[in-house]
Every structure is written in C-alpha cells, then in structure tokens.
Amino acid sequence: MIISKTPYRISFFGGGTDYPSWFKENKGKILSTTIDKYIYLSLRDLGPYFSYKHRVIWSKVENVSNVKLIQHNVVREMLQYFKVKHGVEIHYQGDLPARSGMGSSSSFVVGLMNAFLIKKKIELSKMNLAKKSIFFEHKILNEIVGIQDQISASYGGLNKIDIKKNGNFNVKEIKISKQIKNLDKNLVLLFTGIQRTANDIAGQYVSKLKKDKIMEMKEINFQVEEAEQLLLKNKFDDFGKLLNDGWKLKKSLSKVISNKKIDDLYKFSINNGALGGKLLGAGGGGFMLLYIPHHNQKKFFKKIKNVINVPFNFSEESSQIILNN
C-alpha cells in the first residue's frame, strides 16, 4: 500500500495570472502558501478474487469491472494514463471539502500522480511533479484551471511563483521568519457553505481577461511584488489592507466571482474588524480568507453567525509519500 499526503493551499495574490490564456502573452505571478490541512490518498493492488476489478472510495463507493466505468474522472483518466492493467483500490480522504477554493482538485491530482510514480519506482523533483500534474489537468482532463495549485502542492511552503510565457516557472521560497510565522494568527478562514468547481466559474470569464481586463490583470500582477515586500518588512496590517484592494480588483473582473451572500459576509467582516480579505480560488463561493488583527478576533466571533471558522497554520510540507510497503 502507498499513501500520499498533499497540502491544500491559500492563494493571496496573483490569481488569474496563472491561466495559460493570460501568462502565454503577459507572464504571471502568484503569492501563495500551503497550510496544515491535507488530502490523503491510499493506493493498493487488488487480487483477482473480488467480484470487481477496481474499487474507488470518495464521496461514493465505486466497485467496477472496467476502468472506463469509473465515475471519478481523475481516477479513471489516471489509471488509463499509467496503463494500469491489474485491479487497484484508491481511497480518498480530505481535511476540507472539495470544490471550495483551496486547490483541492489539483492537490488530488498531485497526490495521486505522486503515488503512482512511486509505485512505478519513479522519483521526480518537485518541479517535474508539478509539470506532470499540470500536463495531466490541462491535456488529459481538459480542465480550465491555472497552474499555481499544482505548483503549490508539489513544492509546499510560502512562495512567490513567477510564470514565464512558455509555461516554465520559478519558485522563490519566502523564508518563514518568527515574525512571518505570526501572520497566520491574524488570518481567519471561513467556510461559506457554497461549493463550486473552479472549472465552472473560471470558464465564464478567464478567456476574456486578456482582451477586456488588461489593466486590472497587470495591477493584480504588480500586487504580488508589493505583497512580498510587505511580508519581508513585517508590515502585516498593510498586507491585510492590500488583500482588500486585491479583492475589489478581482471582483471587477466578472460578476460571477461574487454574489450577494458573499458581498454581505465581506461587508460585515470589514465593519467588524477585518482590514481585508478575499474569496479563495476562482470565486463564486467556498472559503473566505480574512485578515483580522488578533486583538479584534474575539469581538468578531461574538458577532458572526452561520459560518464555520477553520483554524489553520502555515505549513512548509509538500506532497509526500507517508507509507510505502
């Protein structure tokens, strides 16, 4: 049995510039971190004596005789990608819900890719694991997604990602000093209860960015550099205020990025101690990240209702194999 452990991520700045339709002409920049919430995937061989050939356990249990009958598209296509002939069981467990803006789909791909590569006794660098996962999502699954999530899951940590026009990328680790380590004490992660896929949301507006929203996207790019400098200077409250600027900018890209429920929650948060925040992922729902100075949080949580707070810490862990026997 092989078990992989792959982190979720929080993207602070630069979202949207990691889509090929943008970076192929303009380059891209991302500032993101992985957190101490994970996807676990187990992979084991099945003998020929079961009534089924493949077993996939996720939000449902699938027992099938043929790989093409598997409903989970990532598992189905991954088995065919690796030309798996024998029976296997794949079991998925996640600390957070899917379709919530935390990069779960790409973390799933990276984690499963990692497990199959180890099974075949192939060890890849972090860069090559990310590139292989990006290829799989873009070319095999044909998903309209960016490339930051696969990179974050493969590398782990707090990073600035520079994306070149040809799709190559550089990952610059931002060392988590004692001061930066305290940043997450000022960050609050709220689950809005709205689930959606990045593919569905992004598909409605990403292709138009390079034509209709060039100035806004260039500003989103620039904010990555500004945010990095604020972190290095330990100007965390200014970092929080920049999140507010970034959210306003992102909302201007398309009407599908937010909705009344999200807008009301964000307005309430700003009026009750938050300096800034954003929806994570492509938009439309999922998790909302807020920057609330630690001394204001007690008051905030006394007033907020009908949302779930998810405590978290920054993590430097990348996708790992935690069992191989």
> Do both 146 and 286 map to the same domain?
no
Q: How many domains does the chain have?
A: 2
Q: Are residues 166 and 62 in the same domain?
A: yes
Looking at the fold, whether 77 and 194 belong to one and the same domain comes out as no
Q: CATH code at 97?
A: 3.30.230.10
Per-residue pLDDT averaged across 227-247, rounded? 95
Q: What is the mean pLDDT of residues 4-16?
A: 96
Read off the pLDDT of residues 260-290 as tens digits, 9 standing for 90 and up. Answer: 989 999 999 999 999 999 999 767 778 999 9
Q: What pLDDT, in 10s, does the model give residues 153-195? A: 999 999 999 999 999 999 999 987 777 778 989 999 999 887 6
SS3 letters across 157-221: CEEEEEECCCCCEEEEECCCCHHHHCHHHHEEEEECCCCCCHHHHHCCCHHHHHHHCHHHHHHHH
Domain assignment of residue 160, given as a range = 2-174+315-324
pTM across the whole model: 0.94
| For residues 304-320, average pLDDT | 93
Antiparallel, parallel or unpaired: β 320-324 and 287-291:
unpaired
Question: Based on the domain organization, do 150 and 280 belong to the same domain?
Answer: no
In terms of domains, do 78 and 41 share one?
yes
Does 166 share its domain with 283?
no
| 305 Cβ contact list (under 8 Å, min separation 6) | none
Please check the confidence at residue 255 and state whether its pLDDT lies above 90: no
Same domain, 133 and 241: no
pLDDT for position 197: 59
Domain match, 163 and 188 both: no
Look at the alpha carbons of 254, 256, 260, 262 in this order and tell me if their dihedral is positive or negative: negative
Can you give the pLDDT at residue 169? Answer: 98
Q: Are residues 162 and 32 in the same domain?
A: yes
CATH number of the CATH domain containing 214: 3.30.70.890
Q: What is the dihedral of CA 223, 225, 227, 233, to 10 degrees?
A: -150
Are 92 and 58 contacting, i.e. CB atoms less than 8 angstroms apart? yes
Beta bridge partners of 162: 29, 170
Q: Are residues 136 and 24 in the same domain?
A: yes
Whether the pLDDT of residue 214 is over 90: the answer is no
The verdict on 187 and 125 lying in the same domain is no
Token digits for 90?
């794949």
> Does 141 lie in the same domain as 184?
no
